[in-house]
């Protein structure tokens, strides 16, 4: 079987700014420190699509020493990148089946989401005569993973279930932290405080705030915070200006420009009828590359745009798997080979997400591997 191409000749380039990434984590770290808490970093989904092999070491160089992934295999990959004894790595999805020896072998901390997982980890630690660390996830309203109130009642009444291992973190997950006025934010913080008060004190601390939660106020910080998407430049609060530096820039060279006029149409389904003499540029970015189909031909929230330098050019027609079309009629500087910023400081991940009717998380984690990737800053 032949190796996958490296796309070194790709007409698209994804630029990842490792200095901006590090600055964003430091901003979150400093906010947490102002409330007496310390900051960890979530690097799941291949560092939110930007490459864990570069994201993990860059955040470590910035000072981060505690990381979280979703899957165990992600945590194992990160451990290979960060073998230092002072680096703590946790996997959030829980302790499944007979994975306990794997967690121990790679020095990964499981997040225990139910009583069965607690009992298995405690039994394993007792068998190996080592009180290995774990996090306990308490459900305070997400109704996804985590210990429900009935199991918290049992742990509070029978704390011996927690013997044999180190309970390093008590954590939960906010439901609507990106909407600061949502009443559930206060409800969750209060419930988390009450429930954790009933359990033994964790050795590292309590952890509730995600990226958005870091901006809700001191009552949400507890002893540590667990930011994710804001590290990568996505706005933590949709109601205020974004304090985070943009981390990604997606640039695409124009493949072809053609002159069109009514009654011609552009793209699949004849979804874009041409209303005036126009110049249409085509670039090699499509939904296979993370430029979502819903951003084209009838945007949901706002018009999808790109930029040639400072000049805004609209996306027109349906976005296809490999190609996107743009109206460059008012951009006389556009020629074949001209670079168009599909994502960048003027067209942020959040703006594209709004045009596509989704969230910045999906845009970042959908960015494909067909782009030529270039890392700047840090040790790049």
Q: Which of these is catalytic: 48, 201, 268, 272?
A: 268
Largest CA distance in the chain: 78
Separation CA 186–CA 221 (nearest Å): 12
Strand partners, 133: 166
Q: Which of these is catalytic: 44, 232, 287, 375?
A: 44
Q: Was 321 annotated as part of a binding site?
A: yes
Count of C-beta atoms within a 10 Å radius of residue 274:
17
Separation CA 336–CA 356 (nearest Å): 27
Would you say 315 and 252 are in contact if contact means Cβ atoms under 8 Å apart? no
Burial label for 55, CB within 10 Å (0-12, 13-18, 19+), is: buried
User: What is the per-residue DSSP string for 266-283?
Assistant: ESGGG-EE--SSEEEEEE
Separation CA 342–CA 338 (nearest Å): 12
User: What is the per-residue DSSP string for 311-341?
Assistant: EEEEEES---SS-EEEE-TT-TT--TT-EEE
Separation CA 96–CA 94 (nearest Å): 6
Which residues are CB-contacts of 73 (< 8 A; sequence separation ≥ 6)?
none
Does 201 qualify as catalytic in the annotation? no
Separation CA 307–CA 344 (nearest Å): 8
Would you say 64 and 26 are in contact if contact means Cβ atoms under 8 Å apart? no
Does 232 qualify as catalytic in the annotation? no
Which residues are CB-contacts of 268 (< 8 A; sequence separation ≥ 6)?
317, 318, 320
Would you say 350 and 360 are in contact if contact means Cβ atoms under 8 Å apart? yes
Phi, psi of 138 (to 5 degrees): -105, 130
Separation CA 54–CA 377 (nearest Å): 11
Residue with tokens 């067209």: 347
Closest CA to 169 of 76, 40, 24: 40
- Binding-site residue numbers for substrate are 144, 321
State the catalytic residues: 44, 268
Q: Enumerate the known binding-site residues.
A: 144, 321
């Amino acid at each position: 079987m032949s190796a996958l191409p490296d796309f070194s000749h790709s007409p698209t380039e994804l630029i990842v700014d490792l200095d901006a990434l590090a600055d964003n984590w430091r901003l979150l770290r400093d906010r947490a420190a102002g409330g007496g808490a310390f900051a960890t970093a979530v690097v799941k989904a291949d560092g939110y699509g930007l490459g864990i092999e570069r994201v993990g070491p860059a955040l470590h160089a910035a000072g981060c020493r505690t990381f979280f992934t979703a899957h165990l295999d992600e945590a194992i990959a990160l451990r290979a990148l960060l073998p230092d004894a002072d680096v703590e790595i946790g996997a959030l999805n829980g302790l499944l089946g007979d994975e306990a020896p794997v967690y121990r072998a790679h020095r990964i901390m499981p997040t225990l989401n139910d009583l069965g997982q607690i009992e298995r980890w405690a039994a394993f630690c007792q068998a190996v005569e080592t009180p290995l660390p774990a996090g306990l996830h308490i459900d305070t309203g997400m109704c996804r993973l985590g210990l429900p109130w009935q199991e918290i009642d049992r742990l509070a009444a029978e704390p011996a279930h927690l013997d044999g291992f180190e309970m390093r973190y008590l954590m939960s997950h906010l439901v609507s932290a990106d909407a600061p006025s949502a009443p559930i934010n206060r409800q969750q913080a209060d419930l988390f405080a009450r429930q954790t008060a009933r359990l033994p004190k964790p050795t590292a601390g309590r952890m509730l705030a995600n990226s958005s939660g870091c901006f809700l106020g001191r009552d949400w910080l507890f002893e540590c915070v667990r930011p994710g998407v804001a590290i990568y430049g996505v706005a933590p609060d949709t109601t205020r200006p974004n304090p985070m530096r943009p981390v990604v820039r997606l640039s695409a060279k124009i493949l072809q420009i053609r002159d069109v006029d009514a009654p011609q149409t552009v793209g699949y389904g004849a979804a874009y009828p041409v209303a005036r003499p126009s110049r249409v540029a085509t670039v090699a970015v499509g939904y296979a590359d993370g430029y979502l189909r819903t951003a084209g031909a009838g945007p949901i929230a706002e018009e999808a745009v790109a930029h040639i330098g400072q000049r805004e050019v609209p996306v027109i027609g349906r976005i296809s798997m490999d190609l996107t079309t743009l109206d460059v009629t008012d951009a006389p500087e556009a020629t074949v080979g001209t670079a168009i910023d599909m994502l960048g400081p003027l067209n942020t991940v959040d703006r594209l997400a709004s045009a596509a009717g989704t969230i910045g998380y999906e845009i970042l984690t959908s960015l494909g591997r067909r782009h030529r990737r270039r890392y700047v800053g840090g040790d790049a």
